[in-house]
Amino acid sequence: MNKKIFSFFLLLLMICNASNLFSKNQKEKGISIGISKIVSHPALDAIEKGIIDTIKKEYPDASFDVQNANGDMSTATQIANKFKMDKVDVAIGIATPTAMALVGTLDSIPVVYSAVTDPVSAGIVSSLTKGEANVAGVSDMTPVAAQIKLLNDITPIKRLGHIYNSGEANGVFLKDLAKKYCEENNIEFIEAVVTNTSEVKQATLSIINKIDGLYLSNDNTIFAALPAILEIANENKIPLMSADPESAMNGDVFASMGFDMYKIGLASGKVALDVLKGKDTKDMPTVFLTDPSDLNFVINLDVAKKININIPESIKKQATTVIGE
């Protein structure tokens, strides 16, 4: 064999072996993942599980430092500083506030954001369609118009109530979308503003007698206090449409349509894997779930009966999950 050709194949073999060794060493070394979530509730817990399940398939010995900010931004920053001191390989922020804290604190450690509705307005990235240095992730942009329309199709709504956290960027963004839809469809929009979970019950009571329907978008402060909202809404026979099907599976929610949050976690875990394997985040634009199968529609016939609403058969056939009766 020609010596030059032999040398070329020998070099190629060495490169392949080095690549395989690097991959093997990466799997064998202690991969460290920091996960910070703003609160603990079924949707965010499902995202966390999806992330961990995905990463463990590739790195079964990876360690996970899962932290809960309990709705407090200063705690979220403390968690970010902890990850910085611990020099985790990747830091993952579940929900907008924790992702913002990670991006604002970490410099050399890559950040993956998960379930951030609008990462541009939150200042996490500068573009949805272009990659960002050291930052990549997944949006959970929810179909606000379709959710409100579905509630109105089930039972006509003249005055829609909405509760949101004014300090949570995604909450404000989604409130504006809901308000715009109502204005365009002759529905009076009645909002109640909170700044933390402890204010949610009183905010619900302040509008419950002024509305004939209630809509909850992807706002983690609100979902952390969901049981209090459900108690008030159902007692007053107000149909509630939630953007969080995960919570609807575990509570007396009239109807819910939104993403399968475990799938959001799987997608976020995939982004984290790409980063761990050396992919440049500048080549990783925001990921959106676009397949209809990524959406779940849950209706609760027991709640419908309790609040005296008859759900049309055509609506029941659309549901991915029907609870009760």
pLDDT score of 5: 52
Per-residue pLDDT of the chain (325 residues; tens, 9 = 90+): 555 554 545 555 555 554 444 444 444 458 999 999 999 988 899 999 999 999 999 999 999 999 999 989 999 999 999 999 999 999 999 999 999 999 999 999 999 999 999 999 899 999 999 999 999 999 999 899 999 999 999 999 999 999 999 988 888 999 999 999 999 999 999 999 999 999 999 999 999 999 999 999 988 899 999 999 999 999 999 999 999 998 888 889 999 999 999 999 999 999 999 999 999 999 999 999 988 788 999 999 999 999 999 999 999 999 999 999 7
Given this model, what pLDDT does residue 13 score?
54
User: How much is the pLDDT for 7?
Assistant: 52
Q: Are strands 90-94 and 240-242 parallel, antiparallel or unpaired?
A: unpaired
Could you tell me if 101 and 36 are in contact, meaning their C-beta atoms sit under 8 angstroms apart?
A: yes
Are 29-141+262-292 and 144-258+294-323 equal in CATH topology? yes
For the chain, the C-alpha Rg in angstroms (whole number) is: 23
pLDDT at residue 4 in the model: 52
Q: Going along the chain, which residue ranges are E strands?
A: 32-37, 63-68, 90-94, 111-114, 135-139, 159-165, 188-194, 213-216, 240-242, 255-259, 287-288, 295-300, 321-323
DSSP assigned state of 127: -
Other Cβ atoms within 10 Å of 104 Cβ, number: 14
For residue 239, give both structure tokens: 């149909």
> What pLDDT shows up at residue 3?
52
29-141+262-292, CATH topology level: Rossmann fold (3.40.50)
Domain boundaries, the chain: 29-141+262-292, 144-258+294-323
Q: Which of 30, 12, 10, 31 is nearest to 20 (CA)?
A: 12
Domain 144-258+294-323 has CATH 2.60.120.380: no
